[in-house]
Amino acid sequence: MNDMTKVEPMPALRFEAPPSTSLLAHARHIVAENPVTGLAFGLFALIVIAAVLGPSLVPYDPLASDTNAALQGPSAAHWFGTDQLGRDIFSRVIVATRLDFAIAVCSVALVFAMGGLAGVMAGFYGGWVDKLVGRIADTIMAFPLFVLAMGIVAALGNSVTNIVIATAIINFPLYARVARAEANVRREAGFVQAARLSGNSDWRLLLTQIVPNIMPIMAVQMSLTMGYAILNAAGLSFIGLGVRPPTPEWGIMVAEGASFIVSGEWWIAFFPGLALMTAVFCFNLLGDGVRDLVDPQRRN
C-alpha cells in the first residue's frame, strides 16, 4: 500500500463546472436580479447607521423639553415637528432606533440559540427529546402570543431585559419547529451517513453537518422575526409595559401622540409609526435577500 504515491492517475473527466465567485460579487448579482432586495439592504443599512451613530447625528437632545416650541408641525427647524413638551420628534425617532433595534437583535439571538438548538436536537434525536420540545412549543402556541408576552413582562418585572425574554419566548415555537423539520429531513441524508462512517460522534454530526445546512432557512426566519420582534417591543411599550417615558421609543411615542391626533397634531404619532413600519417592512423584505445570499447553491 505504500506504492500509492507513484501510481499514474486515471484519465480525468473534464466537465465544465462554474467557478466560484466572491461574496461581494454574489451580493451585487442578487441585488441586480431583484431591486426590492437592494431596497431592503439599503433600508437595513440606514437602520444600522441610525442605531449606531444616532445620538451623535441628531440636531437636538431627545430629552430636552422646550415649552415655547411645543406642538409645532413639521418645519425646517423641526423636520418631524415637536411634541407636547417641545421635544424634537426627529431626534427622538432617530435615537429610539438603537433601543428598538437592540431589543430585536437580542431577542432574536436568544430565541435562535434556544429554539434552534432545541429544534435541531428534537429533529435529530427524535424520541422523548422530540416529544418534550414539541409539547413545550404547543403550550406556548396555546396562548395568544401578545397576551403571553404581556403576562411574562408583567410577571417578571417591567424592564428592557424582560421584554427581550418575553419576545424570545413567544417566538420559540417558530424556531423550534422550523429547525426540527429541517434537521429531521437531513438526519438520514447521504452526507450525514457518510460523516457517521467517517467516525463523527453525534454531536459533531449535529454541529458540522446539520446545523450549517439549515442556516439559510434559519437566517430567513431570523430576518422575518426581527420585524416581528420590533413590533412586539413597540406594542408592549405602547400599552405601558417595558420601556418607560421619557426614554425615546417608537411604541411610547405613538402612544403619547395618539391622544393628540383628534386635535389635529398628527405628526407626533405619525413619524414614530412610520419609522416602525419602515423597519418591519425592511426586515420582511430582507428575508428573501438573506436566503439568496447565504445559500451555497446560489453561489455560481
Partner 1 sequence: MIPAPLLDIKNLTVEFATRRGTVKAVKAIDISVGKGETVAIVGESGSGKSVTSYAVVRILDRAGRVAEGSITFSGMDLVNAPESQMRDLRGREISMIFQNPRAALNPIRKVGKQIEDVLLEHVQATRATAREKAIEALTKVKIARPEERYDAYPFELSGGMCQRVVIALALACQPQLLIADEPTTGLDVTTQKAVMDLIVELTRERGMSTILITHDLGLAAAYCDKVVVMEKGVVVETAPAGEIFRNPQHPYTRKLMQATPRIGMSLADLLPDAAKGPPAQAAAPRPAPVAGAEPLMRVENLVKEYPRPETGSFLAKLMGKAEEPKPAFRAVDGISFTVAKGETLGLVGESGCGKSTTSMMITRLIDPTGGRIIFDGTDIGAIPAKQFAASPHRRRIQMVFQDPTDSLNPRFTAERAIADPIMRMGTISGRDALRARCEELARLVGLPVELIDRFPHQLSGGQKARVGIARAIALEPDLVILDEPTAALDVSVQAVVLNLLEELKGRLGMSYLFVSHDLNVVRLLCDRVIVMKTGAIVEQGTAEEVLGNPQADYTKELLTAIPHPPL
Chain contacts with partner 1 (rule: CB under 8 A) = 1, 3-5, 7, 9-20, 29, 189-191, 193-202, 204, 208-209, 212-213, 296-297, 299-300
CB-wise, 98 or 187, nearer to partner 1? Answer: 187
From the CB of 283, what's the least distance to partner 1, in Å? 25
| Residue 98 in grid coordinates | 438603537
For partner 1, the closer CB: 78 or 186: 186
Nearest CB to partner 1, comparing residues 57 and 207: 207
Q: Is the peptide bond before 246 cis (omega within 30 degrees of 0)?
A: yes
Of 110, 146, 111, the closest CA to residue 241 belongs to 146
What is residue 258's three-state secondary structure? Answer: helix
Between 122 and 226, CB nearer to partner 1: 122
Question: CA-CA distance, 49 to 47, in Å (whole number)?
Answer: 5
Q: Could you give the CA distance from residue 289 to residue 31 in angstroms, rounded to a whole number? A: 8
- At its nearest, how many Å lie between partner 1 and the CB of residue 26? 10
Least Å distance between CB 113 and partner 1?
Answer: 20
Of 170 and 205, which CB lies nearer to partner 1 in the complex structure? 205
Contact 103, 164 (CB under 8 A): yes
Q: How far is the CB of 292 from partner 1 (least distance, A)?
A: 12
- How far apart are the C-alpha atoms of 152 and 109, rounded to whole Å? 19
CB of 35 to partner 1, least distance (A): 17
Radius of gyration of the chain from its Cα atoms, rounded to whole angstroms: 25
